[in-house]
Structure 1
Amino acid sequence: MKISANQIKKLRELTGIGIMDCKEALIKSKGDFDKAINFLRKKGENIAIQRSFLEVKEGALYSSTNDNQTFGVTIGLSCETDFLAKSKDFLDFLSMLSKISLLYNNKKNFLSSYYRGKKIQDLIIEKMGAVGEKIELKIFERIESPFVANYIHNNYKIATLVGFSSHEGINSTIARNIAMHIAAMNPIAIDEKGIPDSIIEKEREIISYQVEKENKPSNMKDHIISGKIRKFILDNTLLNQKFIKDNKITIQEYINKFNNNLKINIYNRITFL
């Protein structure tokens, strides 16, 4: 099977692995990115867990919360060039749309709504004519909770929303720190219960493949596999991750400093790769 340079480039951007290794992985997997990444991980390459391997697109993200911080919305506009995605005009337009998006529950209603006598979709079309590039509202994600915080990474490629069970004991700075941690550390789930069985099984398969090559007794191998699975769960669940601003404590321990009864109800982390 012929593998294109663009496929190799995309896999390299997703994994950080060398060109020849990426090419080999794509050939072995017949161009399937999920299988290619599993192939690389079985070889022992240290690759961050990715939840989705979307086509790389240019664009920017913006998240906002309402004044009471009881809900938040993340929207994302795609465009054709990174130059436009980073421009002040594009980001100002995105910021304006983000504030309006708080009035609506879903993408369809938002696009068909009116702002100063014009539909949001028509405003986007007008902007396309002004900048000379195709622009599309690709992302509209809304969460609700008693207290919601947001964070936008400074390159506008990552945006997070996190919902807490209460405002009691924490302020916007503390909540934003956790939203920022989510942006940086990309947890799979809030806790172990939230990790899909399919992800655990895939990880077990990769770890078992790596351990099987070691010259050790079977019972020791089982113990190593169990230990590695446990570490995988701790490293990839939000409450068990080491807090990015203080790696001596976990996120759960950071929360407990302010309110032992506080729960994280929901979060999302949206990226433009």
Structure 2
Amino acid sequence: MKIPAIQIKKLRKLTGIGIMDCKEALINSNGNLDKAINFLRKKGENIATKRSFLEVKEGALHSSINDDQTFGVIIGLSCETDFLSKNKNFLDFLSTLSKISLLYHTKKKFLSSLYRGRTIQDLIIEKMGVVGEKMELKIFERIESPFVTGYIHNNRKIATLVGFSNHTKGINKTMARDISMHITAMNPIAIDEKEIPDSIVEKEKEIISYQVEKENKPSDIKKKIILGKVRKFILENTLLNQKFIKDNKITIREYMNKFNKNLKVQIYKRITFP
């Protein structure tokens, strides 16, 4: 099977693995990126377990939170060039759209809503005529909780919103922002063990089993190794069990307990610009 060079380049960009290994993985997976990732991981390559395989496009993210911090919205606006995605005029326009987005619950309603006599979609089209590039609202994510905070990475390609169980009087805002930053940096799969999807655990168990089966050890020892590695995977990829990025001697759960043992993370959205 002949694999297009652009497909190999895409897999290499997603994984950081060498060209020949990427080519081999794609041949073995009939060009399927997801299966190619699993093929590489079974070979023992150290690749992140959760990635978006959407076409990479230029653009930027912006988030806004309402005044009493009970809900927030992340929007993402695509464009054709990296140059425009960093342009002040583009980012100011995105910021304006972000503030308006707080009034709506869905992308569809937001795009069809009126702002100064024109729909948001019409405003985007008009802006396209000014900048000379195709633009599209690619992302609209909203969360609600008693307290919501967020963080945007300085490259504006990653944005996070986090919802906590207590309102402003029962929460330390510095701690809440730290957790938003942690999620942005560490990309947990779920809040805790209960919320991690079974499909992800099973896929990881399959990969670990494949690796361990090649070892020359008794079957009972292999089973213990597999269980231990799966447990480690769950702990390293669930928010409350992850080591806090500012102090790796404690977990996020322990960090939160320093401020309020009854506080819970109810929901989070970590968005990367596709």
* Structure 2 match to 1:75: 75
1:110 is matched by which residue type in structure 2? F
**1:198 matched residue in structure 2:** 199
**TM-score, length basis structure 2:** 0.97
**What is the alpha-carbon distance in structure 1 between the residues aligned to residue 2 and residue 92 of structure 2?**
43
Gaps of 5+ in 1: none
Structure 1 residues 223-250: Cα deviation after superposition (integer angstroms, max 9, x where no partner): 0000000000000000000111111111
Task: State the TM-score, normalizing by the size of structure 1.
Answer: 0.98
Distance 1:171 1:105 in 2: 27
Q: In the alignment, what sits opposite 2:19? A: 19
2:94 alignment counterpart: 94
- 1:216: which partner in 2? 217
Residue identity in the other structure for 2:270: R
Task: Tell me whether 217-226 or 45-54 shows the greater mean CA deviation.
Answer: 45-54
Asked if structure 2 preserves the Cα contact closer than 8 Å seen for 1:51 and 1:188, the reply is: no
Unmatched tracts of structure 2, length 5 or more:
none
- Structure 1 residue matching 2:31: 3-state secondary structure: coil
Q: Which amino acid aligns with 1:103?
A: L
- Count the aligned residue pairs: 273
Q: Specify the alignment match of 2:123 in structure 1.
A: 123
Read off the aligned partner of 1:260 and give its amino acid letter.
K
Amino acid at match of 1:93: F
SS at match of 1:31: coil
Partner of 1:227: 228
CA distance in 2, matches of 1:97, 1:2: 44
1:239 maps to 240
Report percent identity of matched pairs: 81
Q: Which runs of 4+ in 1 moved over 2 A?
A: 167-173
Instruction: For 1:243-262, list aligned pairs within 5 A.
Output: 243-262=244-263
Aligned mates of 1:89, 1:237 — CA distance in 2: 38
* Aligned amino acid, residue 261 of structure 2: N
Q: What is the aligned partner in structure 2 of residue 136 from structure 1?
A: 136
Q: Could you tell me how far apart the structure 1 residues matched to 2:150 and 2:65 are?
A: 7
Partners of 1:106 and 1:140 within 8 A in 2: yes
Report the residue type matching 2:48 in the other structure. A
- In the TM superposition, residue 46 of structure 1 has moved relative to its aligned partner by 0.5
Supply the distance in 2 between the matched residues of 1:217 and 1:203 (Cα, whole angstroms).
21
